């Protein structure tokens, strides 16, 4: 897939998720311990998003309840998290500063992470929300 097509898919997917309200409805609030591991960003068709063979990832470090890292499409990023029992916030997000054609999409993704205040884990899916508005969907 050409880079321009990937960029288009990322933009459309982010718009799709940013406009969708949903509540997957797990029976109990998700816990931070439920999210440890590597998660890949998905589009509305359950396809991993990324550049080439490099998926956009969100990694919750199992040795730390307070930090995240990942790959945002061009740059690696990291930050801190707070919360539990279905609530989460991403704070102090930073990234490397490589220049690439997907930088705007990467910035949009990182900005969406900063808006998240709630999460749900259902089997191998991670849903990140701003209140009831689904912003991002990841799969393990």
- Average pLDDT for residues 41-57, to the nearest whole number? 87
Residue-level pLDDT at 13: 54
Residue-level pLDDT at 50: 84
Those residues with Cβ within 8 angstroms of residue 79's Cβ, 6 or more apart along the chain or in another chain: 67, 68, 69, 90, 91, 92, 93, 94, 113
pLDDT, greater one: 5 or 42: 42
From 105, 110, 43, select the one nearest 78 (Cα to Cα).
110
**CA separation, residue 2 to residues 50, 73, 75, 108, 136 (Å):** 11, 14, 19, 20, 23
């Amino acid at each position: 897939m050409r880079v321009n097509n990937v960029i288009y898919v990322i933009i459309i997917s982010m718009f799709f998720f940013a406009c969708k309200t949903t509540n997957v409805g797990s029976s109990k609030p998700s816990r931070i311990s439920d999210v440890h591991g590597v998660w890949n960003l998905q589009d509305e068709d359950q396809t991993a998003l990324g550049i080439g063979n490099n998926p956009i990832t969100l990694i919750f470090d199992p040795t730390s309840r307070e930090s995240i890292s990942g790959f945002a499409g061009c740059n690696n990023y990291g930050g801190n998290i707070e919360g539990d029992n279905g609530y989460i916030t991403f704070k102090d997000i930073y990234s490397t500063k490589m220049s690439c054609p997907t930088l705007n999409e990467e910035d949009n993704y990182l900005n969406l992470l900063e808006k998240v205040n709630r999460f749900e884990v259902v089997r191998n899916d991670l849903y990140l929300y701003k209140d009831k508005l689904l912003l991002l969907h990841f799969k393990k």
